[in-house]
Chains A and B, each alone.
Chain A
C-alpha cells in the first residue's frame, strides 16, 4: 500500500511538473512569437494592460454597433489571437456618438475593464491610430477629384490642396477610421491585391504620414 502510494505520488509529481511546464511553455511561446502592434478599440491603447486583462470573451466585437471591432487573426501574432482590434473595412469609430452619447459601447461592455477610458475622456484625446496616405493608390492623385475621405473626416484632419488632392493633418486625427472606411481605392474593381488595401489607412502612430 505504501509503495503504491509512493508510485502514485511520484507519478503525480511527474504529471504535475509536465502540466506546470506546459502552462509556462504556452505562456512563453505566445510571448516569444512575433506579434504585431494592432490598433485597439478606444480604451485599449495601453497594449500591455489590454493583454493582461483581456479574456478574449468577444463582448466588444458584439457590442460595437458599427462592427468596427474584429478579432485579431493569427497573422497578427499568436498572443493577439482573438483579442480586439479595429477593422475599418466594416465600420469606423465615432465613440458611439450617435448610438450612446459618446460613450463607446465596447468600453461599457468590457467585463474585465481591459478597455477603459478615463472619466470625461473626449474623442479627440484618445488616439486609436494615425492615417497613412499612399499617393500611388489615391484616386485624387490621378486627378479624379475624389474627395470621399475629406468629406468623411469629422475632425478636419484632411485638407485639400489647390489641385483638390488630400493632405493629412496628423495632429487633428484620432484614427477614427472614417476615411479608410469610405476610401474607394483598391476596393472597386481591384482584383489583384484583393480588397485588403486602401489608399488611406489607419496605422500605428509611428508609421503614419504620406508616401
Chain B
C-alpha cells in the first residue's frame, strides 16, 4: 500500500511508471479503441470517475461524434474514459483485499508477541485445531507415509474451502503478492513488476495484466510439474521438501525471527531466511504463475469450483449490447482469463483468484461474482462460447 503511494508522484508527469499510467497505456494500446476520441480527450483532466458512473448503456449516450464511420458513438465515449493519475483504483473491497495479506501478517505478528498462539497461514488455528496448508499436509502425508488423522481432517477442510472459494486464497490472503509488491516485483495485481510498468520491457503490459499471463489451466504447466516434483521428492527423501523453501513460510519465519531479536536470539537464520525468500522471488519472476505448487494444487481442485464465479450479464455487456470492442475485463484480469469467451480464453476459469478486478474494470458494471451461478447464466456463457462476436 505504501509502495503504491510512494510512486504516485512519478505519474504526475504522465509517462510515469505508475499503475494508472499503465492503465492508460493499456487503454491506448487497444487497437480497436477509437484513436481520435482517445486523442481528443487524452489531455483533459476531466473527472473521469463521474464519466464512468454516468456511462451506462443508455441509448442517449452518443457523446462525441465518431471520427471514422465504423466507430460507433459509444465507443468513442468509452475510449475517452481514462483513469487519471490522481484517481484511486478500485473500490473499498479492492482496497480491503489488497490490505488483507498485510493485515494477516500483522495479526499473526501481534498474536506472537502477545503470546497468543494463533499460528500463521501455514497452520492457522487455536490449540489442537489447525487448518494446515494443503501443500504441507499432502507433503507430510507422503513423506511420513502414515495417515495422521489431524492432517487428513485438515486436508479435507482445505479442499472443501478451495471447492467453495476457488483460488481466492491467492489474491486475498497469500503474503507472496504483498512481499513482491514490497520488493518492487509486482505492480498492483500485475506480476512482472515495475520494470514492465516502466516500459523497459518492450511490449509487456500492452494488454494489461493479461499480457503477462501465459496460457494456463487447460493443460499442465510448470507449476504442476513443481507440484508433482516436490511431492515426489517428499516421498523419496522423507521430508516435506517444498516447506523448506515455501515463500509464505519464509515470510512468516522472517517476521518471527525479527521479533525474536527483541528476546536476544540472534542466529544466521535471521539473514539466511529473508535472503532465501528474496532470492526465490527475484530469480523466479512470476512465482505465482510459474512455480507455486500450492497455486497449482488449488487450480486443480478449483476445477470443481462453481461458486463465486465471475459472470458477465450479457444484457449489460457493451460487447453484446452495443457490438463494441471493450475487453476491459480480459485486460484487467491478473490471471489473463477472458471472461467473454471462456472456450477460447488463454487461461481457464479455474485459475480465477476471485480478485474482482474484472468487476472493477467493467465500465458497464456487467460483471458480478454471484455465490451461485445465476439461472440461465451458464446457457448464456455457452451461447457466448459458440457465438462469434461480430465487429461493427
A residues at B contact (CB < 8 Å): 12, 15-24, 26-28, 30-31, 48-49, 51-59, 61-63, 65, 67, 70-75, 78-79, 81-82, 87, 89-90, 105, 108-109, 111-114
Neighbouring A residues of B140 by C-beta, 8 Å? 52-55, 112, 114
List 19 A-B pairs, Cβ < 8 Å. A23-B233, A23-B242, A27-B239, A30-B239, A30-B241, A48-B238, A51-B238, A52-B140, A52-B144, A53-B240, A55-B240, A55-B249, A57-B122, A57-B133, A59-B117, A75-B267, A109-B127, A113-B148, A113-B150
Q: Which residue of B lies closest to A195 (CB)?
A: B264
Contact of B117 among A22, A49, A109 (CB under 8 A): A109
Known contacts A30-B239, A51-B239, A113-B150; decide if A15 and B256 are in contact (CB<8 Å): no
B220 touches A23 (CB 8 A): no
Binding site for A on B (CB under 8 A): 111-112, 115, 117-120, 122-123, 125, 127-128, 130, 132-133, 136-137, 139-140, 143-145, 148, 150-151, 154, 219-222, 225-226, 228-230, 232-234, 236-246, 249, 252-253, 256-257, 260, 263-265, 267-269, 272-273
Known: A16-B222, A27-B236. A53 touches B122 (CB 8 A): no
**Contact partners of B127 in chain A: CB under 8 A:** 108-109
Contact B241–A26 (Cβ < 8 Å) = yes
Contact A24 B253 (CB under 8 A): no
The answer to whether B221 touches A12, judged by C-beta atoms less than 8 angstroms apart, is yes
Q: Which of A19, A57, A87, A105 contacts B249 (CB 8 A)?
A: A57
Complex Cα distance, B225 from A21, in Å, reads 10
Which A residues lie within 8 Å of B268 (CB)? 73-75
A116's closest neighbor in chain B, by CB?
A: B148
Closest Cβ–Cβ distance, residue B149 to chain A (whole Å): 8
Interchain CA distance A104-B203 in the complex, whole Å: 58
CB distance from B384 to the nearest CB of A (A): 23
**Nearest CB in chain A to that of B255: its residue:** A58
The residue in chain B whose Cβ has the minimal distance to the Cβ of A28 is B237
Please measure, in the bound complex, the distance between the C-alpha atom of A84 and the C-alpha atom of B378, giving whole angstroms: 50
Chain A, residue nearest B145 (CB): A52
Tell me whether B253 and A71 are in contact (CB under 8 A). Answer: yes
A23/B128 contact (C-beta < 8 A), A16-B225, A52-B143 known: no
- Report whether B130 and A59 are in contact in the complex, using a CB–CB cutoff of 8 Å: yes
Interface of B is mostly: helix
- A111 B273 Cβ-Cβ under 8 A: no
CB-based contact A24/B233 at 8 Å:
yes
Known: A30-B244, A56-B243, A111-B125. A24 touches B232 (CB 8 A): yes
Which interface residue of B130, B233, B257 has the most chain A CB atoms within 10 A?
B233
Bound-state CA distance A49–B369 (Å) is 44
Asked whether A54 lies within 8 Å of B225 as measured between CB atoms, the reply is: no
Which of B225, B245, B267 has the most chain A CB atoms inside 10 A of its CB?
Answer: B225
Task: Enumerate chain B residues within 8 angstroms of A18, measured Cβ to Cβ.
Answer: 225
Q: When the two chains form their complex, are residues A57 and B257 in contact, meaning their CB atoms are under 8 A apart?
A: no
Contacts of A111 in B (CB 8 A): 119, 123, 125, 130, 132, 150-151, 154
B228 to chain A, nearest CB (A): 7
A194 (CB) vs chain B CBs: closest residue: B266
List residues of chain B with CB within 8 A of the CB of A58: 119-120, 122, 252-253, 256
**What distance in Å separates the Cβ of A24 from its nearest Cβ neighbour in chain B?**
5
**Which listed residue (B122, B151, B229) contacts A23, Cβ 8 A?**
B229
Interface pair B249/A56, CB less than 8 Å apart: yes
B244 touching A63, Cβ below 8 Å: no
Whether A55 and B256, one on each chain, are in contact in the complex, defined by CB atoms closer than 8 angstroms, is: no
Known: A24-B233, A90-B265, A112-B137. A53 touches B148 (CB 8 A): yes
Distance of A45 from chain B, by nearest CB (Å): 15
* A77 CB, min distance to chain B CBs, angstroms: 11
Separation in Å of the A197 CB from the closest CB of chain B?
15
Cα of A72 to Cα of B256 in the assembled complex, Å: 13
A16 to chain B, nearest CB (A): 4
Give CA–CA (A116, B335) in the complex, Å: 42
Smallest CB separation, A56 vs chain B (Å): 5
Residue from B220, B236, B244 in contact with A24 in the complex, judged by beta carbons closer than 8 Å: B236
When distances are taken between beta carbons in the complex, the residues of chain A under 8 Å from B119 are 57-59, 62, 109, 111
Q: Which of A56, A72, A81, A90 has a CB less than 8 Å from the CB of B122?
A: A56
Known interface pairs A23-B232, A57-B136; 20 further A-B residue pairs with C-beta atoms within 8 A, sorted by A's residue number: A20-B229, A23-B226, A27-B233, A27-B236, A30-B239, A51-B143, A52-B240, A54-B140, A54-B239, A56-B246, A57-B133, A58-B119, A58-B252, A62-B115, A63-B117, A74-B267, A74-B268, A81-B272, A113-B150, A114-B140
Does A53 contact B144, Cβ atoms closer than 8 Å?
yes
- Given A16-B220, A63-B117, A73-B267, CB of A56 within 8 Å of CB of B253: yes
Chain B nearest CB from A151 CB (Å) reads: 24
Instruction: Determine whether the beta carbon of B236 is less than 8 Å from that of A55.
Output: no
Judging by beta carbons under 8 Å apart, are A65 and B148 in contact?
Answer: no
Candidates A26, A61, A75; contact of B256 at CB < 8 Å = A61
CA distance A105 to B148 in the complex (A): 19
Q: Which B residues touch A52, using CB under 8 A? A: 140, 143-145, 238-240
- In the assembly, what is the distance between CA of A75 and CA of B226, in Å? 28
Closest to A78 in B: B244
| Contact call A108/B241, Cβ cutoff below 8 A | no
